Structure 1
């Protein structure tokens, strides 16, 4: 049974894979990475849940996922066809020396453009770069790691150029139909009202849904139970407050919506494998090495 989102650690500086999946394939749960992710849909259609938005993507679309952002793909409908995709995960240091001074631009690219809908010319540029990166990783010829990073840098530079010609959020939200529209609205509300006393009954009533429907459909769309999603949003806000303020842990617990400091501590430690106090100390130890594009 799905309870908490799971960190899917990326153990390489750069990793790329290709996969073909049946139309009804759905990620078992929502997860996040400690690295950046580029997802390119070669064929088929998918629904992509990213933080609190749902996008319907099709062949030629490229999805950009920042570090530690929750995401999940699912079928686009009952008659979904098989799909093929290319996936790249990379850490900051893979390109930091190749693209000096571009950290802020790249961070903004991933934040502002969860989906880039590529035209035919752009697809003919991007897909061969991804294919070449995949081939280098498979063949492992002399210098393949360095060449892979060069190809990644070329890809990112081209994506920055493409973004200059587009408004923010190039991809249209794909939640126009039930249940995607409803769940996206609930998720957005949680992200902006996490400090409130949220409950299944209150949220169901606010959005005119039955509690049974909401409790069953929310994890089907997002990969997380409603409670797990609320906890995830609250804990990420608590992390920001621990890093960026001097507020006592007790104040932070109440500020992010927990009525019990003890309960907050248990949920935080389960999510981060550290107590709030230890997390704050660890973050301050490494704060001198902070970069805008975090690895």
Structure 2
């Protein structure tokens, strides 16, 4: 039986770090997991192989090999990929990194989600820079070399990448359904656990439960209860990597019915127990 791999999450920045970079790859027909979500950090994904669609604030667009996507902190996004072989590097960095490193001009380019494409010449340059960044990160993620290489990569992308046109005309965040759901969406953006049933969520948006449910699924492509559960699981992954809380403490902090229930759901989502995930995080640090 194949182990289930994690798609973009739960890679998260360890407390005290400015950024993290990881290589991700899947063989054909490998399982992967993703849902409409957001991060507390900025995220760049530089694809090697990919076939699918990127859903983000500006709409949706078709992905192809060597594309780049950027999603800023707290912006909702999702990917729908085919079973074909796929691979990429994922770089997550703190929003304040741009200001701290004097990259205010570059920061203007990274204000909203972007699907980007490079010329063949610049693809080679970017891939070389990513290899350098990974090597420097593995040696010392806090070194001047690591931070300088990340700065160079961000500058290179801002100066040379071209935006890919979206397939839909209306940005997700401006869609009427998204705007009607905003009271609930804001809760998910700012709380690790949204302990609210369907009727309560619908009431917060001044909608009937049935209409809310249809509207929510049209935006997030899963039903409300599924999303709420997955949001808790992804919050748990962040807490495992960024805090010293025990598995029992996290399970109660996020209102799981019991630690064993939390462990079972986490393993179903990510293919490993919370303990193993935390061990892997600590070993790479």
Normalising by structure 2, what TM-score? 0.56
Write the mapping of 1:216-227 to structure 2, written as runs, cut at 5 A: 219=220, 221=221, 225=224
1:68 aligns with 2:68: no
Q: Is the 8 A contact 1:49 1:73 kept in 2?
A: yes
**1:105-137: CA deviations, max 9, x gaps?**
434322355111112112111111111111222
Q: Which residue of 1 aligns with 2:130?
A: 130
Task: Name the CA distance, whole Å, in 2 between partners of 1:95 and 1:113.
Answer: 16
Instruction: Check conservation: 2:57, 2:112, Cα contact below 8 A.
Output: no
Give the counterpart of 2:45 among 39, 50, 74: 39
Q: For 1:216 and 1:50, how far apart are their aligned partners in 2?
A: 16
> Which of residues 158, 165, 190 is equivalent to 1:172?
165
Cα offset, 1:75, TM superposition: 1.5
Q: How is 1:1-80 mapped onto 2 (pairs within 5 angstroms)?
A: 9-11=12-14, 12-24=17-29, 25-51=31-57, 53-76=59-82, 80=83
Deviation digits for residues 61-109 of structure 1 (CA, Å, limit 9, x no counterpart): 1101101112222214xxx4110001101114545443x2x33x43432
- Name the structure 2 match of 1:152: 150
Deviation at 1:58, TM superposition (A): 1.1
- CA-CA distance at 1:173 after TM superposition: 2.2
CA-atom RMSD in angstroms: 3.9
Q: Distance in 2 between matches of 1:23 and 1:228?
A: 27
* Matched-pair contact (CA < 8 Å) for 1:51–1:71: yes
- Rounded to whole Å, the distance in 2 between the matches of 1:110 and 1:187 is 19
- In the aligned structure 1, how far is the partner of 2:60 from the partner of 2:181? 19
**Could you tell me how far 1:51 is from its partner in structure 2?**
4.1
- Measured in 1, the distance between the counterparts of 2:136 and 2:223 equals 36
Distance 2:113 2:216 in 1: 30
Give the CA deviation at 1:53. Answer: 2.6
Q: Give the distance between the partners of 1:114 and 1:147, measured in 2 at CA.
A: 27
Which protein shows a greater Rg?
Answer: 1
> In structure 2, do the counterparts of structure 1 residues 124 and 191 end up closer, same or farther at CA, with 3 Å as the change threshold?
same
Q: How many residues align?
A: 199
Task: Give the structure 2 partner of residue 191 of structure 1.
Answer: 178
Preserved contact between residue 56 and residue 172 of structure 2 (Cα < 8 Å): no
Q: SS state of the match for residue 164, structure 2? A: coil
Where structure 2 has 5 or more consecutive residues not aligned to the other structure, the ranges are 1-8, 183-204, 232-253, 255-285
- TM-score, length-scaled by structure 1: 0.54
